[in-house]
Structure 1
Amino acid sequence: MGACYRTRDRDLTTSRPMSEDSSVADAATLAAIRAELIDSYDEELEQEMEEDRLDRLDGVPLEGREPALSRGLYFRELLRLQHELVRLQDWVQHEKLRIVVLFEGRDSAGKGGVIKRITQRLNPRVCRVAALPAPNERERTQWYFQRYVAHLPAAGEIVLFDRSWYNRAGVERVMGFCAEADVEEFFRSVPEFERMLVRSGIVLVKYWFSITDAEQAFRFRMRIEDPLKQWKLSPMDVESRRRWEDYTRAKEDMLARTHIPEAPWWVVEAVDKRRARLNCIAHLLEQVPYGHVDHPPVHLPDRVRHADYIRAPVPDTMIAPDRY
């Protein structure tokens, strides 16, 4: 992986060929930079290995699951796609685009995992996540779409909705948090609302992450077994298991009535989390034609030093204990 960071023998601060006096120091700096970058990738690899471990917890059946995408191929493609996401980000800023991506699906379908991989290497000021909690008393009296509109992007921004206004067609409908008349009004309004967004210049992409009944049961069981992930399993999630068929009917109705030419739905097969992430990111990149944006070279200036400056010592009482 270190080969990815090979650079010409040049002075990074002046873009001139390095002198013999500075070559040793600069080579050491580049080696340290490579080590830090590779270490950051190692952390991601450890995270994936931990997911593999959880997938094999004792007592959890794995029958019927297709072999997962190999870790090596997954990481190579993920890093390649994340590089393209950075290029897309540059283009969005340069062209002042506005992009909205909706991620919907059952609990534990993998929405959070793909959102994390999309945002992992992007500027949070450009690409941000909107994950709205349940509406408060005031919001429940507003126009239904009003609290979502507040999170729409300005020019040069990407917003990823981790669940969206489609809550009304899903959890709110199934759990009885709204009347059926409210659902029907939503279905009348949402196509026009989305057409209005698209006419205003927003690029709107909608994804439904699809998993099987058995896979959701397996992922819920993983959360029960793992003390670091038990917080992810809410009472609402537990109840959703019992109402699997109700959610299926609601999803089918939602897709049929809100799949419009201006804002179609895209279904991501998500039983294999790795394939789902790669497929979703690759497809998202295809939705926005983007090109290369030239950036001026960065030159680090020499640090200003003042002869009268003396660094003040840090009191021992302020230093965190050195336990490791």
Structure 2
Amino acid sequence: MTDLTLPNQAIAGKTAPPGEARALRLPTQWLGVTPFFLFALMFLILPTLYLMLGAFQNDAGEFTLENIFSLFQANILAAYWISIRVSLASSLIGAFAGLAIAIAIVRGGLPNWIRSATLTFSGVASNFAGVPLAFAFIATLGRLGLVTVLLNTLVGLNIYAHGFNLLSFWGLTITYVYFQIPLMVVIIVPAIDGLKKEWGEAAATLGATQAQYWRMVVIPVLWPSFLGTVILLFANAFGAIATAYALTGSSLNIVPILLYAQIRGDVLHNAHLGYAIAFGMIFITGLANIFYIWFRTRSERWLK
């Protein structure tokens, strides 16, 4: 009679069922995103929580609402209002200019190399900010900047004599537009790419004109993406501090500069009030990002 029993070594060497093997396997699929989560935890989540806690504390570490109530002082409200105006103006100008560029390179019949070059430049320029950008605009549109001198020499136009000032509301707005336009191009191009060719053919078959096609099809489809990107550009400008501080110093009363003065200044030093100002910025930018995500979700239903 044949002995069908297996030796103990063979039994011990049997592999576990697939279900047990999966249970014992380490979640290696999460290793790739671990650096991102660590970075977000260390430089976004924990600092945000620290600021939020500090906004509701006094110098003794006790709970207080005094810092929040102090946000309604006239100078702080004025700083928020100027920041909102600068952010809104730069986001609208950047959005419309970027949309025009994106439509031109995607549906304007231009050579492919122009699209590639524009997107490459936009990806770089959208991150060009801070001290280098401020210096570039001072060297270009300052009182002795290249463009200022050329306009005065060639056509006799002194832009500063006509009221322009780089260290003002419109000067800061123009500076912000430099990185707002490329950011708009980078974000809105995929949405324009999502416009299906069949939609235009169907509209033409039904007798629609080009203007009707854009008014009844293209604009309703792109509107959520456009509006969401405008909100994102607003948040992007509202939180910019390095460019504003390097360009205007303390000559323009905007929230990032006021925040810097409260935390690092020698005269207005009040760290916990600075935390409250930062909390207000986080609230506004967070609300803007929530609306951006909502509009983007709506647009993705049509562009899939």
More strand by share: 1
More helix by share: 2
TM-score, structure 2 length as denominator? 0.30
TM-score, structure 1 length as denominator? 0.28
Which of structures 1 and 2 has the bigger CA Rg?
A: 2
